[in-house]
């Protein structure tokens, strides 16, 4: 019994570490803007940080946050709080708290999964205005943040389901 509760605690700790990565990586390049000169076909690139696109930064070409980006960030914060609370509940390990901890892991996994998908879909969902010779692509910071969020969500969903599905003796 002790081994299973420590496994659930370890899964929560790994999910929290991945969520920490998700919170840190939008500081890296999030969106890349490529402008092609129609005369010389030279390409000029501008790099926007992930948080500039997610939360908005009016000093950069009036870059405003989209509602989908704000929703993703909010879901990520709520999911991280749920994972932290579920991980803390794994410590004393009374039987009832294990099932509740599993429920919190499962709900947090759903929230973080949606946030990870929205992070990967930042460019199509954002309100970036593209001219005829301008294109936007997702930078590596948002790619890795979205993938880390999806992996953390998978860990939470699997271990949350296992903890909830276990029958009482």
pLDDT higher than threshold 80 for residue 5: no
Enter the CATH code of domain 2-165: 1.20.140
Q: What is the pLDDT of residue 3?
A: 54
pLDDT-based confidence at residue 58 (cuts at 50, 70, 90)? confident
pLDDT tens, position by position, 41-51: 788 888 888 88
Q: Is the pLDDT of residue 71 over 80?
A: yes
Beta-carbon contacts of residue 60 (< 8 Å; ≥ 6 apart)? 48, 52
Task: Quote the CA–CA distance of 129 and 121 in Å, as a whole number.
Answer: 16
Q: What is the pLDDT of residues 115-139, one digit of tens each?
A: 999 999 888 877 777 777 888 888 8
CB 164 within 8 A of CB 109: no
- What is the predicted pLDDT for the residue at 1? 45
Q: What is the pTM of this model?
A: 0.86
Residue spans of the domains in the chain: they are 2-165
């Amino acid at each position: 019994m002790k081994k299973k509760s420590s496994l659930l605690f370890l899964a929560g700790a790994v999910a929290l570490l991945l969520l920490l990565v998700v919170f840190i990586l939008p500081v890296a390049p999030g969106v890349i803007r490529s402008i092609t000169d129609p005369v010389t076909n030279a390409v000029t690139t501008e790099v926007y940080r992930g948080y500039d696109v997610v939360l908005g930064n009016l000093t950069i070409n009036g870059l405003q946050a989209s509602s989908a980006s704000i929703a993703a960030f909010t879901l990520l914060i709520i999911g991280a709080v749920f994972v932290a609370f579920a991980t803390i509940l794994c410590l004393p390990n009374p039987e009832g708290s294990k099932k509740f901890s599993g429920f919190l892991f499962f709900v947090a996994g759903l929230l973080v999964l949606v946030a990870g998908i929205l992070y990967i879909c930042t460019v199509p969902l954002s309100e970036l205005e593209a001219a005829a010779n301008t294109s936007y692509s997702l930078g590596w910071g948002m790619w890795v943040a979205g993938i880390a969020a999806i992996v953390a969500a998978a860990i939470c969903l699997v271990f949350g389901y296992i903890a909830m599905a276990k029958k009482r003796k």
